[in-house]
Amino acid sequence: SVYARITGTGSALPARRLTNDDMAALLAQRGLETSDAWIVERTGIRARHFAEDGQMASDLALDASLRALQAAGRAPHEVDLIIVATSTPDMVFPSTATILQRKLHEAALAAGGRGPIGAPAFDVQAVCTGFIYALTVADAMLRTGGARCALVVGAEVFSRILNFDDRTTCVLFGDGAGAVVLEAVEHDGSGPGVLASDLHADGRHTDILCVPGTVAGGSVLGDPLLRMDGQAVFKLAVGVLEETARTTLAKAGKTEAEVDWLIPHQANIRIMQGTARKLKLPMERVVVTVDQHGNTSAASIPLALDQAVRDGRIQPGQLLLLEGVGGGFTWGSVLLRY
């Protein structure tokens, strides 16, 4: 049968890096107090990257995509499907995926090639679960012959929607992008590829994590900045992450003990520790980047994946469990053999 296999990974972070001390200095200008000790203890975050003015989600997506394509040994014109997971798109429409497509084309032209013009391109919006949703959609399209070589990207500039007068949220997030090239391969099930996935949403919890504003009548209607009930999110997150992990493993006939790497959404080290404990996975088998990236929403899982691939932790044949949870409320997981 046909499986969707990751053949290349890439990521990108804006150059501007802020430590917790930098955030404390920034907040002090607004008469707010925070500290490295508070942020590290509650979240595990030590630093995050913020985009420069004018640096958009599609710019970070482009850099991550070009790196993933290079790792896969693929040229931009070979891509026949582009899916971008983002909650901080360049504009209301068209999708960031189509803007990425144009930028890939321009980059390819400059190198004497051409871009993936004509391939379907669309965004997926599931906040921090966005990459899990996008990967699951791409997997389904590849397995049913709708595409052969997909680019699946998570790209965010959350710094644009942070309320820097709210110290409980603005210290948690960062900007970045991660991308994978996903290709259709045929084997008996023992080779590499996505083995199972599981997606969920519960729209009753819209209010606990949202940016409630919108664009109407030529101006912003409502609050365009992020609001979060941190404790409500925390309580929901650990339970659903355990449940979705178990569901996906059961679908593939695998056990927790067989998982080589858990690559969770990087929101908060305590949520990751809580999930790992419930799944009886030692933290040595959990990829953690939240300390250096903060919460980059849909970008966090492919960013962590790329980092662990490039530093050699993730090896071919290993079993990876990716899982995410976020606004909506949405959650889900993907089990794959690398």
**What is the smallest separation between the CB atom of 24 and ligand ACO, expressed in angstroms?**
8
**What is the smallest separation between the CB atom of 250 and ligand ACO, expressed in angstroms?**
23
Q: Is 45 in the site for ligand ACO (CB under 6 A)?
A: no
Q: Which of 7, 43, 88, 197 binds ligand ACO (CB under 6 A)?
A: 43
Give the list of residues 6+ apart from residue 280 with CB closer than 8 angstroms, or none: 256, 257
**What is the smallest separation between the CB atom of 86 and ligand ACO, expressed in angstroms?**
14
**What is the smallest separation between the CB atom of 170 and ligand ACO, expressed in angstroms?**
8
Which amino acid, residue 284? E
Q: Is 231 in the site for ligand ACO (CB under 6 A)?
A: yes
**What is the smallest separation between the CB atom of 41 and ligand ACO, expressed in angstroms?**
9
> d(Cα 77, Cα 107) in Å, to the nearest integer?
11
> d(Cα 138, Cα 204) in Å, to the nearest integer?
27
Q: Which of 20, 149, 268, 295 is catalytic?
A: 295
Q: Is 98 in the site for ligand ACO (CB under 6 A)?
A: no
> d(Cα 136, Cα 128) in Å, to the nearest integer?
14
Q: Is 209 in the site for ligand ACO (CB under 6 A)?
A: yes
Q: Per-residue string for binding with ligand ACO, 273-312, x by CB under 6 A?
A: ----------------------x-----------------
Site for ligand ACO in 127-156 (CB under 6 A): 128
Q: Is 326 in the site for ligand ACO (CB under 6 A)?
A: yes
Q: Is 122 in the site for ligand ACO (CB under 6 A)?
A: no
| Alpha carbon separation from 113 to 78, 109, 183 (Å, rounded) | 11, 5, 21
Compute the CA torsion angle 47, 50, 52, 58 (nearest 10 deg).
Answer: 130
The backbone region for 218, taken as left when phi is positive above 0, alpha when psi lies in -120 to 50, beta otherwise, is left
Strand partners for 286:
262
| Alpha carbon separation from 110 to 28, 62, 101, 114, 159 (Å, rounded) | 45, 14, 14, 9, 31
128 catalytic per annotation: yes
Q: Is 171 in the site for ligand ACO (CB under 6 A)?
A: yes
**What is the smallest separation between the CB atom of 169 and ligand ACO, expressed in angstroms?**
7
Nearest to 82 by CA among 193, 182, 186: 182
Q: How far is CA 249 from the centre of its chain?
A: 21
What are 273's two structure tokens?
């520790």
Q: Which of 4, 12, 84, 233 binds ligand ACO (CB under 6 A)?
A: 233
Q: Which of 73, 91, 109, 168 binds ligand ACO (CB under 6 A)?
A: 168
Q: How far is CA 295 from the centre of its chain?
A: 9
Q: Which of 67, 167, 293, 337 binds ligand ACO (CB under 6 A)?
A: 167
265 catalytic per annotation: yes
Q: What is the DSSP string of 133-144?
A: HHHHHHHHHHHT
Q: Is 206 in the site for ligand ACO (CB under 6 A)?
A: no
**What is the smallest separation between the CB atom of 153 and ligand ACO, expressed in angstroms?**
18
What are 20's two structure tokens?
């917790």
Q: Which of 20, 149, 170, 265 is catalytic?
A: 265
Q: Is 328 in the site for ligand ACO (CB under 6 A)?
A: no
Q: Which of 128, 170, 268, 293 is catalytic?
A: 128
Nearest to 139 by CA among 89, 86, 193: 193
State the residue for tokens 């290079």.
70
Asked if residue 240 lies in contact with residue 275, where contact means CB atoms within 8 angstroms, the answer is: no
Nearer to ligand ACO, 228 or 321 (CB): 228
Q: Is 88 in the site for ligand ACO (CB under 6 A)?
A: no
Positions annotated as catalytic residues are 128, 265, 295
Tell me which residues touch ligand ACO (CB under 6 A). Answer: 34, 38, 42-43, 128, 167-168, 171-172, 209, 228, 230-231, 233-234, 237, 265, 267-268, 295, 325-326
